[in-house]
Amino acid sequence: MNHPDHTVKSRVAAISVFASAGMAAAKFVVGVAIGSLAAVEPHAGLAAYVTFKSALVSLVRTVALENKDAGLTANVVLPGTMDTPANRKAMPGADFSDLADGSSRLSIA
């Protein structure tokens, strides 16, 4: 599989922004990170991806614990495999009929 491991620096930068001390100055802050089900159900051949997603879960949980009295909540969403062109290419024999198609969009009112 071809994972974007070359973007680790940008991911670390995003985490730094997410966990910055400036958020604590706000009256109420909600942080949401996109993890992966692979963080809690790892698969062979995905060591770097699983390691990053597992670390992200631990970071978000720690941020939530350290800032619970400051009005900051932190959450991580753990989606499973999605039906995307990249996943179809990486898993040509997989059955994608029961998976989200990746084009779904969450509407927040």
pLDDT tens for each residue of 1-56: 444 544 555 555 555 555 555 555 556 677 888 999 999 999 899 899 999 999 99
Domain count, the chain: 1
Domain carrying residue 13? 5-78
Asked whether residue 41 is domain-assigned, the answer is yes
Asked whether residue 86 is domain-assigned, the answer is no
Burial class (CB in 10 A: 0-12, 13-18, 19+), 69: exposed
CA–CA separation, 43 and 38 (whole Å):
7
State residue 2's pLDDT score.
45
Asked whether residue 90 is domain-assigned, the answer is no
| pLDDT tens per residue, range 68-80 | 888 888 899 988 8
- Which of 9, 27, 53, 89 is an active site residue? 53
Judge whether 49 counts as a catalytic residue: yes
Asked whether residue 56 is domain-assigned, the answer is yes
Asked whether residue 60 is domain-assigned, the answer is yes
Judge whether 53 counts as a catalytic residue: yes
Asked whether residue 94 is domain-assigned, the answer is no
